[in-house]
C-alpha cells in the first residue's frame, strides 16, 4: 500500500529528475572551420578569421536559435529551407530568419569556399566553359565579381550563383540577404562586411578583394556546381 509519505517522496524525485533532464540541443550550431585560423595568411589574417568565425558567425547562430528554437516545426527545417520559404513563415520570426538565418547560411558556405592559396585549384572543365559563356572566362569573372563587390553600398555580399534554369549569375545583396531568397543557389560569396577585412585592410576594400580571390577554393565550387547542375 502506497502511503502519503511515499507519494510525496516520488513527487520530489520526479521533480528533481525533471530539473536534471538535459536541455535539448539547439537546432543550429556553428560549423568548424575546415582549416586553421592562420591558413589563409597572408591574404586573410588569423585575428580577422577568429573574430569573424568565432564571434560574428556564432552570434548569427545564437540569434537564430533564440528566434525559432521554441518552435518544433521550424526547428526541424534546415537554414536553407527556412530561407527558401521565408514568405510562408510566421511574421514574428521572418525578419530574424532573414537576417540571422541569412548570416548563418552565408557564412557556412563562405568558409568552405576559401582555402590556403596553394590548395585552391581552378575552375573545372564544365564550370570554366560556363564562366566563358557568361563572363568571357575565369579571369574576366574574377574582375567582374571584384567590381561588383567593390560597388556594394555599405555591408553585403557579391555572389556567383545558379538561377532556376541552372545558368550562372553575378549578383550582389545587402546585409545578410541570401541568393536563396530569390530562388537561386549560391556557389561563391564574397563577404564585404567591414568585419571581414577591416583589421588588416582598414578601409581599402579593393585591396581585400584582390587578396581574397587568391584563396578561393575552386575544388569545392567545382564539386558544388557539378552537384547542382546534374
pLDDT for res 25? 87
How far is it, in rounded angstroms, from Cα 182 to Cα 83? 9
Q: Is residue 22 part of a domain?
A: no
For residue 24, what pLDDT is reported?
A: 75
Element (H, E) at 158: strand 156-162
The total domain count for the chain is: 2
Determine how β-strand 185-191 pairs with β-strand 168-174: unpaired
Cell numbers standing for residue 61: 547562430
The structure's pTM equals 0.89
| Beta-ladder partners of 190 | 158
The per-residue pLDDT for 10 is 38
Give a yes or no: residue 73 inside a domain: yes
User: What is the distance between the alpha carbons of residues 77 and 214, in angstroms, rounded to a whole number?
Assistant: 35
Are residues 97 and 77 both part of a single domain? yes
CA dihedral 100, 106, 107, 109 (to 10 degrees): 140
Residue 208 is part of a domain; what is its CATH number?
3.55.40.20
Q: d(Cα 126, Cα 150) in Å, to the nearest integer?
A: 28
* 149-174: pLDDT as tens digits: 999 999 999 999 999 999 999 999 99
Domain boundary among 94, 112, 130: 112
Confidence of residue 144 (pLDDT cuts 50, 70, 90): very high
Q: Is residue 7 part of a domain?
A: no
Cell of 225: 556546381
pLDDT digits (tens, 9 = 90+) for 90-101: 999 999 999 999
165 within some domain: yes
Percent of the chain predicted with pLDDT > 90: 88
Q: Does the pLDDT at position 18 exceed 80?
A: no
Give the mean pLDDT of 141-149: 98
Does residue 11 belong to any structural domain of this protein?
Answer: no
Domain that holds residue 183: 117-228
Q: Which residue has the higher pLDDT, 24 or 195?
A: 195
Eight-state DSSP code of residue 137: S
Q: Which of 64, 87, 112 is the last residue of a domain?
A: 112
Q: Specify the pLDDT at position 22.
A: 52
Would the pLDDT of 8 be above 80?
Answer: no
Residues 181 and 104 reside in one and the same domain: no
- Name the region of 175 (left: φ>0; alpha: ψ -120 to 50; beta: rest): left
Amino acid at each position: 500500500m502506497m502511503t502519503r509519505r511515499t507519494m510525496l517522496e516520488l513527487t520530489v524525485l520526479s521533480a528533481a529528475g525533471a530539473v536534471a533532464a538535459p536541455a535539448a540541443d539547439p537546432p543550429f550550431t556553428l560549423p568548424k572551420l575546415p582549416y586553421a585560423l592562420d591558413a589563409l595568411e597572408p591574404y586573410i589574417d588569423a585575428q580577422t578569421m577568429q573574430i569573424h568565425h568565432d564571434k560574428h558567425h556564432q552570434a548569427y547562430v545564437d540569434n537564430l536559435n533564440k528566434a525559432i528554437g521554441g518552435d518544433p516545426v521550424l526547428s526541424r527545417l534546415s537554414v536553407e529551407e527556412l530561407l527558401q520559404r521565408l514568405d510562408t513563415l510566421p511574421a514574428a520570426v521572418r525578419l530574424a530568419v532573414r537576417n540571422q538565418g541569412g548570416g548563418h547560411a552565408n557564412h557556412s558556405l563562405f568558409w568552405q569556399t576559401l582555402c590556403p592559396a596553394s590548395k585552391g585549384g581552378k575552375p573545372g572543365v564544365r564550370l570554366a566553359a560556363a564562366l566563358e559563356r557568361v563572363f568571357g572566362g575565369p579571369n574576366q569573372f574574377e574582375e567582374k565579381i571584384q567590381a561588383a563587390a567593390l560597388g556594394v553600398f555599405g555591408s553585403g555580399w557579391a555572389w556567383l550563383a545558379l538561377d532556376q534554369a541552372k545558368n550562372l549569375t553575378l549578383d550582389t545583396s545587402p546585409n545578410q540577404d541570401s541568393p536563396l531568397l530569390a530562388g537561386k543557389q549560391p556557389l561563391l560569396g564574397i563577404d564585404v562586411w567591414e568585419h571581414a577585412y577591416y583589421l588588416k585592410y582598414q578601409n581599402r576594400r579593393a585591396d581585400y578583394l584582390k587578396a581574397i580571390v587568391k584563396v578561393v577554393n575552386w575544388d569545392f565550387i567545382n564539386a558544388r556546381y557539378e552537384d547542382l547542375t546534374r
